[in-house]
DNA sequence: AATAATTGCTTAATCGGTTAAGCAGATTGA
DNA sequence: TCAATCTGCTTAACCGATTAAGCAATTATT
């Protein structure tokens, strides 16, 4: 029932020594600080009896290190980010770090606020899934020499550490997969975004069409606003279906789009894959529940998260000065939603 | 490009005053501390120019308050907890608090570790979704007089603040709903757990059967181990279906169970609701994707989270000494999965 | 025996704020 | 006119740890 916190001073008093001695002993610096055997074990004993727990605030204030990582993501309630957050939490703990998570809602202002709040808390480093238009924030971090690693998204014209899925390749593979399965008029719904990862997904889609001698039609590609995903996805699908060369397959370029898109396809009583083939980005248990399991591009979440933490830790420890730019391959999980009538 | 952190001392030096004065001014204590007008505005001006950001560590060390809330949940990658975490994050920020999230994996030891880690970080208060067998941890907090609020789960024999869904009532309503829709042989798959909220869900289920003159059969109720959810859910369903009085509807007592259950029903080529009615606890976008939208018990996540934060904040501020025990009603979201052939 | 090196510990500064106490000088009151 | 009060500021202790520097006492070296 030690309501009162036990400090070094308490131990020092009880052992009749200075706090310095206690600090040395409890930090395992007996050798370096030439501490006597008996007094050392006495101190340890007392610390144990009093259940001493060091005050991290004091230690951090002194050392300038908080052993805390700030994780900035779009939204923790999105399963992709939640999974990543979980991985990062675990990996950070392994490395002796605590994680503070903040949701930016894909909004540069919120992201800036978040960074400011975390900065005040003297956080040691950041893992950031950048929001749109947050390039100068990132540039700022670079200039202030604050350790950070970009995750999942990066800026091609900012030279900095990142760990990301190869979005281009993933989209290319997804599109080619549909083509291989006999689909020809393949549409994509993506976010209207300046973010490079979105652009890359679109590029991958278009290049695959091109390389496979499918000539792209403008109505096939629709971009929706993040803040109006639901309505705009519906509109997009409507128009993709009624176009002259209406699509026979759809690629959802993101989890949020997929959820809304699939829901709408249900409403329209369209059958997947008979009426429409589907490949989606993002991953979630929910995809398993669709009557027809959805083919999706599985990002290497575990590896992404772990690598991000490791890179960051190395950076924070000053063990690494070079820039690491890592692209990982997504795995196409092929299931029924992308299988044609013929192929089955 | 202020790489160097600006401290009170820097401002004081530039303004040729003591740090005390700067501190008073920047904390709006001009009146109380009788500061002159000109010097005050000069200090403010300089602070602005230098873009001064106070060091929370130092402040916290002195004040003993970190303005940080610890949130302990089972697993951030479970959508229910992710949503709750998001709400709490936002509500806490509104109140000037930062949140540190830790996942306990429904494991008392991990939960204890987490608490210890957070305790060292001098966190002001906790919101806890308790893990199984963590009663003494909670009791400990009570005895150490640490502010905390239990969320979603509570211990009937520990008198403490909590905010929870009324699990009994929710299960009762879900069961009655199935009965009202013509189902009679209603099964439930729950976690094998000593946790009170699980017991309550089971109790609600059984009492509803009882009140509706449906005599309960033992094979209808199956409890599965959290750590082997997938296999055991499959076994449970197998046995519920092959029993003499095989079930015509199932209640999944938790999100994780539902995901695995629905997946298995798909594998078995059972049709919902024609072969089997379904009602589930937990909520997730995924439920919308099932070919037949799943009826579920919607917990008032927003209100739960907000209330938890508010209770905690009041407690931390010493504005409230009484214990608050709040039960909220879940809303039954009735959809196709619980509609009988006749009723449609 | 005188000096050097080692051992075992303490002192005190430091991190960056907060805040009670106190000290001049100006103003007011009797 | 002299004490009391007010005004505007500084001093210094404090929160709890870390750690360089230093001081005796003991042991080793020549």
Residue B343: the pLDDT is 45
Cα–chain center distance at B71: 8
In angstroms and rounded to an integer, the radius of gyration of the C-alpha atoms of chain B is 26
CB-nearest to A86 from B77, B98, B284 is B77
Task: Give the CA-to-C1' distance from B61 to C9 in angstroms.
Answer: 28
> Could you give the CA distance from residue B322 to residue B326 in angstroms, rounded to a whole number?
13
> Could you give the CA distance from residue B76 to residue A105 in angstroms, rounded to a whole number?
17
> Given phi > 0 = left and psi -120 to 50 = alpha, else beta, which region is B155?
beta
Min Cα–Cα distance to chain A from B291, Å: 5
CATH number of the domain residue A16 falls in = 1.10.260.40
> Could you give the CA distance from residue A326 to residue A165 in angstroms, rounded to a whole number?
8
Residue B77: the pLDDT is 85
> Would B1 be classed as within a structural domain?
no
Question: Quick one: A338 and A211 in the same domain?
Answer: yes
Global pTM value? 0.92
Residue A342: the pLDDT is 54
Residue B291: the pLDDT is 76
Min Cα–Cα distance to chain B from A214, Å: 31
Tell me which residues of chain A have a pLDDT lower than 70: 1-4, 340-344
Tell me whether residues A290 and B289 touch, CB distance under 8 A. Answer: yes
Q: Is the pLDDT of residue B76 over 60?
A: yes
Classify strands A221-224 and A186-191 as parallel, antiparallel or unpaired. parallel
Token pair 């429409």 is at which residue? A276
> Could you give the CA distance from residue A308 to residue A125 in angstroms, rounded to a whole number?
11
> Would B94 be classed as within a structural domain?
yes
Tell me whether residues B76 and A76 touch, CB distance under 8 A. Answer: yes
What is the CA angle A211-A217-A222, rounded to 5? 105
Residue A261: what are its φ and ψ, rounded to 5°?
-65, -50
Question: Quick one: B74 and B113 in the same domain?
Answer: yes
> Would A60 be classed as within a structural domain?
no
Answer whether any strand D atom is within 7 A of the Cβ of A122.
no
Residue B344: the pLDDT is 38
Question: Quick one: A104 and A159 in the same domain?
Answer: yes
CB-nearest to B61 from A58, A90, A117 is A58
Residue B340: the pLDDT is 67
Sign of CA dihedral A140, A143, A149, A152: positive
* Strand D proximal residues, B:308-337, Cβ < 7 Å: none
Min Cα–Cα distance to chain A from B339, Å: 18
CATH number of the domain residue B115 falls in = 3.40.50.2300
Token pair 């602005």 is at which residue? B48
Q: Is the pLDDT of residue B292 over 90?
A: no
| Number of residues in chain B | 344
Q: Closest chain A residue to B117 measured between Cα atoms?
A: A98
Q: Is the pLDDT of residue B285 over 90?
A: no
> Would A59 be classed as within a structural domain?
no
Is residue B61 very low, low, confident or very high in pLDDT (cuts 50, 70, 90)? Answer: very high
Answer whether any strand D atom is within 7 A of the Cβ of A59.
yes
Token pair 């590896």 is at which residue? A303
Element (H, E) at B91: helix B79-94
Residue B51: the pLDDT is 94
Answer whether any strand D atom is within 7 A of the Cβ of B21.
yes
With beta carbons under 8 A apart, name residues in chain A contacting B74.
Answer: none
> Could you give the CA distance from residue A247 to residue A237 in angstroms, rounded to a whole number?
9
Nucleotides of D strand lying within 7 Å of any protein CB atom: 7-12, 14-21
Residue B287: the pLDDT is 80
- The 10s digit of each residue's pLDDT in B307-339 is 999 999 999 998 888 999 999 999 999 998 998
> Could you give the CA distance from residue A29 to residue A142 in angstroms, rounded to a whole number?
36
With beta carbons under 8 A apart, name residues in chain A contacting B88.
Answer: none
Q: Closest chain B residue to A144 measured between Cα atoms?
A: B3
Strand C contact set, beta carbon < 7 A: A 16-21, 33-36, 38-40, 58, 61-62, 64; B 5-9, 19-20, 23-24, 26-27, 52-55, 57-59, 61-63
* Strand D proximal residues, B:263-292, Cβ < 7 Å: none
DSSP for A254-283, written as a single string: SHHHHHHHHHHHHHTTPPTTTT-EEEESS-
B183 burial via Cβ count (<10 Å: 0-12, 13-18, 19+):
buried
- The 10s digit of each residue's pLDDT in B149-196 is 999 999 999 999 999 999 999 999 999 999 999 999 999 999 999 999
CB-nearest to A82 from B77, B117, B143 is B77
Question: Quick one: B177 and B295 in the same domain?
Answer: yes
Contact A200/A173 with Cβ under 8 angstroms? no
> Would B61 be classed as within a structural domain?
no
Long-range contacts of A2-7 (CB under 8 A, 24+ apart): A2/A50, A2/A51, A2/B144, A3/B144, A3/B145, A5/A53, A5/A55, A6/A50, A6/A51, A6/A52, A6/A53, A7/A55
Residue A2: the pLDDT is 44
Q: Closest chain B residue to A89 measured between Cα atoms?
A: B102
Question: Quick one: B73 and B209 in the same domain?
Answer: no
Question: Quick one: A199 and A336 in the same domain?
Answer: yes
How large is the average pLDDT for residues B117-125? 92
Contact B74/B84 with Cβ under 8 angstroms? no
- Checking each nucleotide's C1' against the CA of B55, the nearest proves to be C16
- The 10s digit of each residue's pLDDT in A22-44 is 999 999 998 888 999 999 999 99
Question: Quick one: B339 and B231 in the same domain?
Answer: yes
> Would A3 be classed as within a structural domain?
no
Residue A22: the pLDDT is 96
Task: Give the CA-to-C1' distance from B20 to D13 in angstroms.
Answer: 13
Question: Quick one: B176 and B212 in the same domain?
Answer: yes
What is the CA angle B5-A142-A113, rounded to 5? 65
Question: Quick one: A126 and A209 in the same domain?
Answer: no
Min Cα–Cα distance to chain A from B38, Å: 28
Question: Quick one: B92 and B40 in the same domain?
Answer: no
Question: Quick one: B307 and B230 in the same domain?
Answer: no
Q: Is the pLDDT of residue B106 over 70?
A: yes
> Would B90 be classed as within a structural domain?
yes
How large is the average pLDDT for residues B37-65? 95
Residue B3: the pLDDT is 53
H helix intervals, chain A: 8-15, 19-26, 30-33, 37-49, 56-63, 79-94, 108-120, 135-144, 167-180, 196-211, 229-242, 255-267, 286-289, 301-316
Q: Closest chain B residue to A265 measured between Cα atoms?
A: B289
| Chain A with chain B: Cβ pairs closer than 8 A | 138
Task: Give the CA-to-C1' distance from B35 to C30 in angstroms.
Answer: 29
Min Cα–Cα distance to chain B from A32, Å: 26
Lateral strand order in the sheet of B249-252? B221-224, B186-191, B249-252, B277-280, B295-298, B331-333
Whole domain around residue A21: which residue ranges? Answer: 8-54
Residue A1: the pLDDT is 38
Question: What is the number of domains present in chain A?
Answer: 3
Question: Quick one: B229 and B112 in the same domain?
Answer: no
Element (H, E) at B314: helix B301-316
Task: Give the CA-to-C1' distance from A25 to D20 in angstroms.
Answer: 17
CB-nearest to B288 from A54, A61, A263 is A263
């Amino acid at each position: 029932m030690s309501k009162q916190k036990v400090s070094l001073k308490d131990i020092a008093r009880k052992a009749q020594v200075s706090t310095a001695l206690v600090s040395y002993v409890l930090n395992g610096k007996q050798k370096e600080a030439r501490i006597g055997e008996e007094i050392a074990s006495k101190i340890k004993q007392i610390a144990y009896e009093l259940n001493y727990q060091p005050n991290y605030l004091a230690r951090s204030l002194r050392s300038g290190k908080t052993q805390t990582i700030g994780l900035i993501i779009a939204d923790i309630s999105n399963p992709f980010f939640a999974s990543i957050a979980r991985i990062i939490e675990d990996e950070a703990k392994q490395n002796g770090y605590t994680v503070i998570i903040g949701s930016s809602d894909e909004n540069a202002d919120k992201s800036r606020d978040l960074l400011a709040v975390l900065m005040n808390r003297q956080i040691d480093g950041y893992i950031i899934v950048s929001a749109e238009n947050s390039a100068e924030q990132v540039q700022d971090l670079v200039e202030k020499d604050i350790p950070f690693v970009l995750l999942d998204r990066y800026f091609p014209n900012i030279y900095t550490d990142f760990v990301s899925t190869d979005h281009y390749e993933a989209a290319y593979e997804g599109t080619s997969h549909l083509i291989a399965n006999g689909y020809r008029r393949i549409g994509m719904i993506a976010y209207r975004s300046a973010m490079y990862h979105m652009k890359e997904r679109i590029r991958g889609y278009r290049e695959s069409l091109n390389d496979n001698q499918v000539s792209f039609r403008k109505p096939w590609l629709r971009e929706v606003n993040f803040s109006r995903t639901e309505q705009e996805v519906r509109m997009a699908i409507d128009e993709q279906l009624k176009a002259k060369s209406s699509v026979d397959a759809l690629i959802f370029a993101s989890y949020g789009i997929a959820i809304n898109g699939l829901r709408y396809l249900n409403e329209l009583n369209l059958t997947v894959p008979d009426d429409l083939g589907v490949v989606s980005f993002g991953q979630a248990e929910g995809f398993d529940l669709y009557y027809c399991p959805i083919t999706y591009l599985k990002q290497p979440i575990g590896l992404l998260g772990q690598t991000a933490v490791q890179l960051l830790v190395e950076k924070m420890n000053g063990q690494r000065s070079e820039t690491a730019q890592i692209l990982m391959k997504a795995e196409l999980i092929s299931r029924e939603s992308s299988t044609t009538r013929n192929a089955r």
